[in-house]
Structure 1
Amino acid sequence: MDSPPAHALEIARRWFQDYLTRSHQHIGRSGPVCPFVEPAIKAGTLETRVWPVAPDIDTGGLVEIVHRMTETFDTMAWQGRNRTLHALVVVLPGLADDRLPLLDQAHARMKTELAHRGLMLGQFHAACDERAARNREFMVSRSPVPMLALRHMAFHDVMFLHTDPGWFAAYRARYGARYRTGSVPDPLFAELFAEAQRTWGEEQDKGDQ
């Protein structure tokens, strides 16, 4: 969607309030679509910016935007001390509809690198095919304006990092000890971690020796 910058920002913020902070019948659990958005808004740690892009930007250009986001995220003076609520959202007005899938390509290209830095990147746009972790039929990341979101990796991210050895290695390095001590609040997290450990863990354990 090609929206003027100020209008795109208003659309994004309305989407946060009307969608992300509310429950949804298809999300597969109780609570809001994104449990962190409303607390981050209240804490003043949801930083939303508008970075207009050229309609003909390519995947490489979007990857450069992700690098710019990472630099911005790392150097920001965050108000709150709760790192899990620190989030940078960049709205990208000007991105042509036929180029929306390039956001998915940029996300895929950067995910492993960012995971090893302890960061999570999300892409949102009107044609996004990302599915809810607890309901694979629900395309949870469809938004009225294209945007990227960057935040610190959190404990629940096993739901998004268990299907790839590189992603899982980054996650396990940060949170594996909690699984070894049994400090896991959600059975699904334990199930996904155990599955990934069976699939990727033996090879990674050898590498750690």
Structure 2
Amino acid sequence: MDLSNGDSGERCTAPQEQAWRWFEEFLCRPNGQLGRDGHVCPFVGPAIEAGTLRVAEWEVGPEPGVGDLVALVHRMVDAFRNMEWATRNRTLHAFVVVLNGLDAAALPLLDEAHSKVKPELVSQYLMLGQFHPACEERAARNPGLRVSRAPVPLFALRHMAFHDVLFLDDDMEWFSAYHARFGRRYSSVTMPDPLFADRYARACEKWLAGCGT
């Protein structure tokens, strides 16, 4: 595990070390409860190998407001857009910010901030994930597995990816952005994952009159 800070060359702090260990010991390994083969997160391992997983630690204080966390996400977006990357493969570009100083009672604020800022980010083809010790987000194929329970609170930002239909199919505006970005791939010769195809078809029928336009 590389415990140096990719931007400054300095050693990681203890919270960053905890985040890296969680990446490598949970996200980069198979899990029998996941409901599919492969690593829990299919992108973290390749991003680490490519040197495109950037991890920083930002101070937030014990009880930030939701507006403070939304402002922090906007700051993340600005930083993300101005980063230089080791590869042009945007799928592997990811920026993680570990939130330092947050009280345990304030963890639900990450969920609130995520819900508030998600529509704006999706319209820009960006995806934000919130992860913390009390996060209730579940695996797409097994609702019994809480996949977003990280040992430290953090936000993760990346570009929208093909599999994000799993997170964007229950809202018309979110799905419209996804359809604009990836709709053509569903008519290609190569068949997508059956779960993706089913979720995409159902969302088309629900939000876009069958995606016939």
TM-score of the superposition, structure 2-length normalised? Answer: 0.91
Shift of 1:177: 1.1
SS at 1:68 equivalent: helix
Residue 185 (structure 2) aligns with: 178
Which residue does the alignment assign to 1:188? 195
Return the offset for 1:203. 9.2
Structure 2 counterpart of 1:193, one-letter code: Y
Gaps of at least 5 residues in structure 1 are: none
1:73 maps to which of 57, 73, 80: 80
Q: Residue type matched to 1:99 in 2? A: A
Q: Tell me, yes or no, if the aligned pair for 1:169 and 1:204 is still in contact at 8 Å.
A: no
One-letter code aligned to 1:74: R
Give how far 1:10 is off. Answer: 0.7
- Spell out the pairing of 1:5-16 with structure 2 (5 A cutoff): 6-16=13-23
1:82 is the counterpart of 2:89 = yes
Cα deviation for residue 81 of structure 1 reads 1.2
**Rounded Cα–Cα distance in structure 1 between residues aligned with 2:124 and 2:190:** 23
Establish whether residue 99 from structure 1 lines up as the match of residue 69 from structure 2.
Answer: no
Q: Which has the higher helix share?
A: 1
Note if 1:58 corresponds to 2:65: yes
* Residues 136-194 of structure 1: per-residue CA shift (max 9 Å, x gap): 11111001100000000011111111111111001000011111335432111110000
Residue identity opposite 2:52 in structure 1: T
Alignment partner, residue 110 of structure 1: 117
| Alignment pair present for 1:130 and 2:137 | yes
Amino acid at match of 2:126: L
Secondary structure of 1:30's aligned partner: coil
Identity of aligned residues (%): 54
Q: State whether residues 204 and 210 of structure 2, in contact with CA within 8 Å, keep that contact through their aligned partners in structure 1.
A: no
- The number of aligned residues is 202
CA distance in 1, matches of 2:64, 2:210: 39
* 1:160 pairs with 2:167: yes
**Residue 106 of structure 1 aligns to a residue in which SS?**
helix
Question: Normalization by structure 1: what TM-score?
Answer: 0.93
CA–CA distance in structure 1, aligned partners of residues 187 and 28 of structure 2: 33
Q: In the aligned structure 2, how far is the partner of 1:36 from the partner of 1:66?
A: 21
**Counterpart residue identity of residue 104, structure 1:** D
Partners of 1:147 and 1:193 in 2: CA distance: 29
